[in-house]
């Protein structure tokens, strides 16, 4: 199968025997319509406004949890020159933004999946066994990420270890421990 998406998705689909077709959101509808791609790997709240379900009527809901996107960015040199109290406010607002963003995505996802079904899409939930098989076929994405961060001077091992611990502390059971081989 030819799966439309950003290059970062290649490690997620190529172990399954699919081929990534590098594309952007604006082109996906037409590429599905003309057969450039057979499907796409995309967050449900991102696919619905593009009406991709009109061309790709079969939706497999993997449900990996909230995928948040967006955020506040600032040049680190500019940030360092800000008064400390402004830095504190930005950090607090950033954390609040993340929580609210995840809440909104989950809320809209439920609405959009109802809309998908009402508009003729066939939705199936990926069974846990398939999720486990998929995640175990992936390359060691955690190690790849950590190595790239460490090479850039970012404490990737510390971040990944803390991230996996936080996931567990919050009550989730990861399908794979991405910090295991770092």
Find the helix or strand (DSSP H, E) in which 110 lies: helix 84-118
Asked whether residue 82 falls in the same domain as residue 129, the answer is yes
SS (H, E, C) the chain: CEEEECHHHHHHHHHHCCEEEECCHHHHHHHHHHCCCCEECCCHHHHHHHCHHHCCCEEEECCCCCCCCCCCCCCHHHHHHCCHHHHHHHHHHHHHHHHHHHHHHHHHHHHHHHHHHHCCCEEEECCHHHHHHHHHHCCCHHHHHHHHHHHCCCCHHHHHHHHHHHHHHCCCCCCCCCCCCC
d(CA 51, CA 116): 9
79: which 2 tokens?
Answer: 């940030």
* Separation CA 32–CA 43 (nearest Å): 16
SS3 102: helix
Provide the residue range defining the domain that includes 39: 2-139
Show pLDDT as tens, one digit a residue, over the chain (182 residues).
999 999 989 999 999 899 999 999 999 999 999 999 999 998 888 899 999 999 999 999 988 765 666 677 789 999 999 999 999 999 888 888 888 888 888 899 889 999 999 999 999 999 999 999 999 999 999 999 999 999 999 999 999 999 999 999 999 999 999 999 99
Residue 68 confidence (pLDDT)? 65
Q: Are residues 50 and 62 in the same domain?
A: yes
Residues 28 and 84 in one domain: yes
The CATH number of the domain holding residue 8 is 3.40.190.170
**Domain identity same for 66 and 102:** yes
Residues 88 and 153 reside in one and the same domain = no
pLDDT attached to residue 70: 67
């Amino acid at each position: 199968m030819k799966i439309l998406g950003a290059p970062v998705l290649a490690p997620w689909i190529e172990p399954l025997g699919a081929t990534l077709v590098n594309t952007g959101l604006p082109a996906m509808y037409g590429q599905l319509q003309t057969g450039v791609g057979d499907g796409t790997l995309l967050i449900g709240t991102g696919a619905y406004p593009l009406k991709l379900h009109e061309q790709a009527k079969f939706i497999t809901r993997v449900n990996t949890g909230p995928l948040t996107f967006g955020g506040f960015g600032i040049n680190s040199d500019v940030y360092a020159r800000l008064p400390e109290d402004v830095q504190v406010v930005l950090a607090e607002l950033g954390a609040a933004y993340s929580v609210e963003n995840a809440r909104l995505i989950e809320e809209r996802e439920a609405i959009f999946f109802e809309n998908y079904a009402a508009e003729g899409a066939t939705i199936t939930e990926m069974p846990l066994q398939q999720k486990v098989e998929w995640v175990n076929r992936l390359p060691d994405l955690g190690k790849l990420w950590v190595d790239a961060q460490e090479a850039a001077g970012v404490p990737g091992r510390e971040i990944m270890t803390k991230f996996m611990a936080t996931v567990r502390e919050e009550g989730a059971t990861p399908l794979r421990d991405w910090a295991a081989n770092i």
